[in-house]
Amino acid sequence: MAKAVKKQALGRGLSALLKDPDNDIRSVEDANADKVVGNIIELDIESIEINPFQPRTHFNEETLHELATSIRELGVIQPITVRKMGFDTYQLISGERRLRASKLAGLTHIPAFIRIANDNDSLMMALVENIQRHDLDPIEIALSYQRLIDEIQLTQEQMSDRVGKKRSTIANYLRLLKLDPIIQTGIRDGFISMGHGRAIIGIEDHEAQSAIYHKIIGQNLSVRDTEALVKSYQDGLKPKAQTSEKKAGFVLHETHKNTLTDFFEATVDVSVSANGKGKIVIPFRSEADFKRILARLQSE
Active site residues: 96
CA distance 50 to 91: 6
- Angle at CA of residue 22, ends 79 and 51, nearest 5°: 35
CA distance 31 to 33: 5
Q: What's 237's DSSP letter?
A: S
Residue type, 45: I
**Residues whose CB is less than 8 angstroms from the CB of residue 118 and which lie 6 or more positions away in sequence, other chains included:** none
16, 88 contact by CB (below 8 A): no
Print the SS3 string covering 284-299.
CCCHHHHHHHHHHHHH
Taking residue 234's Cβ as centre, other Cβ atoms within 10 Å add up to: 15
Q: Burial code of 22-39, b = ≥16 C-beta within 10 A, e = fewer?
A: eeebeeeeeeebeebbeb
CA distance 185 to 164: 26
